[in-house]
Structure formats: structure tokens, C-alpha cells
Structure 1
């Protein structure tokens, strides 16, 4: 008999956790999946429904939970009668975890996606929920699944029950994220980018944790070296409708160097259009965009956040966070390598895709989650941690 897993997530907008949840539901063969969004259907709700996954939306305001909404969630979980409940991110871990226990579900698994909780970068409510969850972690979840080794250590120090913390790295659909020069050429043609231009980019929503201003400050220093480059910024909030970002770009004199593309649905094609993907974040868990770009054969550089170094496997591609000078030097060194050593650059491209294929396949991720949900506690822990 096929087992059922109910997933509870804050929302289904365009984000890393939402994408991982969707890939997990679509590739898991040992379970039937139901998704409950505390908010709305977002980007991924319709995709899940078209693929046969039931989606329920509660239209909640996660910042103002109510007893009535809690018991509505309890009734919904009880009606689904799941074998396991998997929650995603702090709000859903707390609210969904309690609801699942009240519904009589014994096998509850929390999902932690962040690797830092810093004042001024994470909201006060988020930090409060994380600390409360740490207190409840002894009783509510069976396991706490983190997407990064850094997240395991940070949450252990925060007071989460350390013997329940395990790590499952994200997995990727390599039939979608793969090297395809023809797709990249179409995007470059669309944007008016010639083959002799060094094209870098960053995919990720406009958010203080992504630290786009750090990247812009670095690009000013790159431009001073007379490198012919274009930078594509892709993601929610990165369009012309963002006056704060546009004003910053204009003030720095980068209006002819930076293109704001906003949110797009053809991310694999955009990745293939890049010569280099740059991640300028000041905080991450397991940065999906690095793995997705590498899977497309695109070399990456990143600030040293979350498990970025673990994914990249190359200390030369890492610099400190919130240091625009170090990030600029990293980009400049990489641009010179692209320009002067085409043969070495091709090796770097193929090495990037091979690393993701060997370490971060979707099958490995799905198997690890299924072992946690349905295996014995010890067996699931060993598989997940490995």
C-alpha cells in the first residue's frame, strides 16, 4: 500500500525551499504527496496540481496565526490521515508541527532551510519562532532535516535537539538543468549580448540576505579594470519596478552594465547564457542557484555563506561575505581566466557540471527523504547524514 506524506509550507512562491518541495513530490515514487500552503498557491501550486499532487491553500497571514486557523489545519491533516508530515521553514515547522501532533500524527519531520539568524537580516518574528521551535524540538519532530551542514551546527548551538538534526543536500533535475549552448545563445541574442562580452549574472530574489548592493559595489571596481562585461540580475523584485535598486545602479554609473530582467520562467536558458554566476549573499543555507548554474556547466564564484564552499569544492572560488573588494577581485581573476585560457575554461565548465551530477542528483535526495520518513530512526539518520 502506497504511503502518504503531507507537506506543510508557508507559501509556494518562487524560492529555494518551494522548488525542493516540488522536485521531491514529483520524483518520489514510494509515497503519495499532499501539499498544504499556509498562504496561497504561488508559483508552484498550479504545477503540483497539474502533476496530480493535491494542494490546499489556507490563505493565512503567517505573521498573525490564529487558533481558528490552527484547528482548521488540524482538521485538514486529520482528514488526510498521512503516514508522515514534512514541514518546511520556521513558520510551518512551528505551526504545522503543532497541528500535526494535535491531529494525532506521530511521524513529524521539520525542514530547516537557513544557516544564520542575524539581527537586521532576519525579522524579529522569524528569530522568535526559531527560538521557540528550539524549545519544542525535543517533543514535536522526529527528525529535523537541514539542507546544509552549516545549518546543522547553527541550529544545534541555537538549542535545537542535536540528536535529531540531520542533513540532506538538495537534489536537482539534471534533465532540466544541463549544458545547452543553443538555449544560452537565444537568450544572449534576445538581450543583445555578443560572444566577446563577459556575461555574469545572479539569479535570486531581491532580499537583504542576497546582498545585491554588495555585488553592485563590486561591479564598480570591476568596471575600473576596463573589463567588458554585462551583469544580468534575475528574480522577483529585480525588474524596472524596483526604484531603490534602479536608483542605486544609476548612482554607481552601472546603468549600461547591469540588466534587470525580473522574474523569468526560463532559468536553465538564462544560466546557459552566462559565462559566470556570482552569488553575493550575506546569508544562505544551501544555495540552489550555485548548483543549478554548475549543472548547466557555468563556473561560479560566491561569498562564503552556508554550504557554498561544499557545493563549489574550490576555495579559490570563495570570498568573505559583505566584502565588495574581495568579491571584485574574485570576479576580475575569473574574467581574466575566461579571456586568456579558453582551454582551461572549458575544463572548468565540464568539471562544474560533473560535480553536481556526482553529488547532487535528484534520486539521491529523494532516497534520503524516503528513508527518513519510512525507515527506522537509526537507518534513516545514517542515510540522511551520509
Structure 2
């Protein structure tokens, strides 16, 4: 089957990462990709795998005639059996272009929050327009989380066309690795008898680093000993606001700001507990499943499908509540002190991801949806 993916961009984001994993782990289908903006991080990576990637270079939030003409040409030249779109602007533009070209379309929605002040006005307008078109353009709408279905149904999306496909993970890459754990903890000067907490997340209001720092400050005041590593774009010593928050909480000795890293599986293995302090907007937080696949239990705020991912293996706190987050972390530290119980918890974390969120299961679910979309579109005529 020939699948044409249309995505808003190919930068370092969750949807982009899932697209990359989906294509590189699907041996059966022929994939092409069109980015409405630039090549970003994943364009070159896909091109290295022999995937045809086209970047239209439209400015974010603004349409250009050259870009629209390029999209139409790409759709017509690809002659795909199905078009899979990713994120609102691509859903709208790629969806309309696909239907005009006679191809069945599957939309992809990734957000669980669309509110003024958190999402741009343009994004909200496009999402509402997509809601109105959802009964006319896509044969199916893939959401990565049940929470996303609820939010978009309230926006007017056709719930009957929506199907949830959770993100899938490369369990050969994200796996327990004692050598990587020992290497990084040695590099960071963290002995095995000191619990290491961490969060892998870019610096963004959505991730709510101030809430995490406030919770860690409470934990320190309660007399707990621990170390913390924070990893992600903008999470480094050059971030004056974050460095000041760490200093104000008296955490200079406990917290290291490491910035972006390419060895995330090793980081997840080095941690004893991964924390996600997000305030809003998460659908299916990748970092929770990635940490758990490495056998690392998680503490998370109750955003998107986070609670469903961790299940009984971790701890969940309400968002924007530093006291509750500190309490959840305290429970985790108490559990960590029971070595046999902790080892059993680590094993259950890994097993939960293996059973629910393998990359193979995700690929098969997407293929089933594409086949269904083609079958639903069949009465309009055979496609070569």
C-alpha cells in the first residue's frame, strides 16, 4: 500500500517522533512524507532510510500560494492509496487536497487541550474548522489517547470516525541496561544508594518545571536525600529563570540541568524515578512509556492518558499542585527503599509496556485503519 503522510513539520516533537517510528518499523508499505514547513530533525533521518520527503517551507501559521501548489502537486504525483495527516493544519490542508485528488484520508489528532492562552488563536480556529469538516473529509480520525477523543468530540469532531491508537515504542532500544545505568551515574557522581529522580522534557509552560522545582523543594525540606537530572531543550545553565528557581528552592546541590541529549534510553536507565510535572496539553506522554520500558517507575501529573499509561506501577498527582506532587514523590522514595519490592515494580513496568504499547502493535493498528479507509472509499472507484 502506498501511504502519503502530510505533517505540519518535522521538528523534535511527539507526533514527528511517532511518524518516524511508524515508517521505520513498517516493512510492508511504501511511505512518502510531505512537511508543510521545513525538514526539521526527522526529514533527514527519514531520507537516510530511503523515504521520499518533500518540504513546502510555508511559514508557521501562514499559507502561501507556492506551498499550496506544492502540496497539490505532491498529492497528485504520489497517487497514494491513502493519505495519513498529522496535526491540525496538515489535517485541514492535506485532507482537503487528498479528497479533491480522490484519495481516502485518515486524520491524526494529538492534543488534549485547546484553550485561549495555551493554544494560538489560529490553531483553535483551524481545529474548529476541522471539527466541522470531520464528517466530510476523513474516513477515519486517529487519536493517540482517549482524552483526545473526548476533547475533540466536544469541539464537534465526528466521534463515530474516531479510533484510538496508542503510541508504540521500540522495545529493543528502550530496555533495561545496567551498563548504561552505571556509566551515567558514574559520570554524574550519583552512587547507587542515592535515589536519582529526573524529567526528560523541553522547557515549556506545558511541562511546568516551576511546579516540579517547588515539589522538590518541599521534598528537601522534609529531609529526603536525592539527586535530580533535568534533560531537554532549554533545560540548561543558560536558562536564567530555571537556574534561579533551582537556587531559590535551595536545590543547587541536588539538581543538574543537562540540556538536550541524544542518549535518552541511557538516561531513563540511570534514573530511579522519572517525573512528569505537566500542567496541561499532554495526550499520550511518550516519556512515561519510554521510562517504563527501561524498567523505571514514574510519578506523573494527571494529564492526558498519563494515569492510564502508568497504571498501578507508579504514582499520579493532580496538575499544578506542588504539595500533591511532593507527596507522590515521597511515596515513590519510600517504595524505592524496599529493594525486593522495587525490583518487582521495575519488572511490572517493563511488562506493562510490552503488553500494551509495542511498536509492532501500533504499526498493525495503523495498517488496519488504512485498509479500512480504503475499503470505505472503494465505492468511489478502484485506485491503481
Q: TM-score, normalised by structure 2?
A: 0.94
Counterparts of 1:361-372 in structure 2, within 5 Å, are 361-372=358-369
- Structure 2: 5+ residue runs without aligned partners? 378-384
Instruction: Note the C-alpha offset of 1:316.
Output: 6.2
Matched, 1:46 2:44: yes
Q: How many residues align?
A: 376
Aligned mate of 1:268, from 265, 268, 274 = 265
- Structure 1: 5+ residue runs without aligned partners? 381-386
Counterpart residue number, 2:348: 351
Counterpart residue number, 1:290: 288
Instruction: Note the C-alpha offset of 1:93.
Output: 1.2
Q: SS where residue 116 of structure 2 aligns?
A: coil
Matched, 1:83 2:81: yes
Which piece of structure 1 moves more, 291-300 or 212-221? 212-221
Structure 2 CA distance for aligned equivalents of residues 349 and 44 of structure 1: 31
Counterpart residue number, 1:306: 304
Verify the 8 A CA contact 1:10 1:38 in the aligned structure 2: yes
Counterparts of 1:1-386 in structure 2, within 5 Å, are 3-102=1-100, 104-283=101-280, 284-314=282-312, 317-339=315-337, 341-375=338-372
CA RMSD of aligned residues (A): 1.7
Verify the 8 A CA contact 1:211 1:281 in the aligned structure 2: yes
The verdict on how the C-alpha distance between 1:50 and 1:41 changes in structure 2, with shifts beyond 3 A counting, is same
Q: SS where residue 375 of structure 1 aligns?
A: helix
Instruction: Note the C-alpha offset of 1:377.
Output: 7.2
Instruction: Note the C-alpha offset of 1:311.
Output: 0.9
Instruction: Note the C-alpha offset of 1:301.
Output: 1.1
Q: SS where residue 185 of structure 2 aligns?
A: helix
Verify the 8 A CA contact 1:285 1:305 in the aligned structure 2: yes
Structure 2 CA distance for aligned equivalents of residues 30 and 157 of structure 1: 36
Structure 2 CA distance for aligned equivalents of residues 379 and 175 of structure 1: 36
Verify the 8 A CA contact 1:83 1:105 in the aligned structure 2: no
Structure 2 CA distance for aligned equivalents of residues 209 and 379 of structure 1: 38
Structure 1 CA distance for aligned equivalents of residues 347 and 146 of structure 2: 26
Verify the 8 A CA contact 2:82 2:374 in the aligned structure 1: no
Q: SS where residue 65 of structure 1 aligns?
A: coil
Deviations 1:320-363 (A, max 9, x none): 11111100000011112212x11100010000000000111111
Verify the 8 A CA contact 2:273 2:299 in the aligned structure 1: yes
Structure 2 CA distance for aligned equivalents of residues 165 and 180 of structure 1: 38
Verify the 8 A CA contact 1:309 1:315 in the aligned structure 2: no
Structure 1 CA distance for aligned equivalents of residues 22 and 313 of structure 2: 30
Verify the 8 A CA contact 2:278 2:303 in the aligned structure 1: yes
Q: SS where residue 91 of structure 2 aligns?
A: helix
Verify the 8 A CA contact 2:297 2:349 in the aligned structure 1: yes
Instruction: Note the C-alpha offset of 1:289.
Output: 0.6
Structure 1 CA distance for aligned equivalents of residues 136 and 213 of structure 2: 45
Instruction: Note the C-alpha offset of 1:294.
Output: 0.2
Q: TM-score, normalised by structure 1?
A: 0.94
Instruction: Note the C-alpha offset of 1:231.
Output: 1.4
Which piece of structure 1 moves more, 49-58 or 285-294? 49-58
Structure 1 residue ranges (4+ consecutive) displaced by more than 6 angstroms after TM superposition: 377-380
The verdict on how the C-alpha distance between 1:376 and 1:60 changes in structure 2, with shifts beyond 3 A counting, is closer
Structure 1 CA distance for aligned equivalents of residues 289 and 102 of structure 2: 34
Verify the 8 A CA contact 1:82 1:105 in the aligned structure 2: no
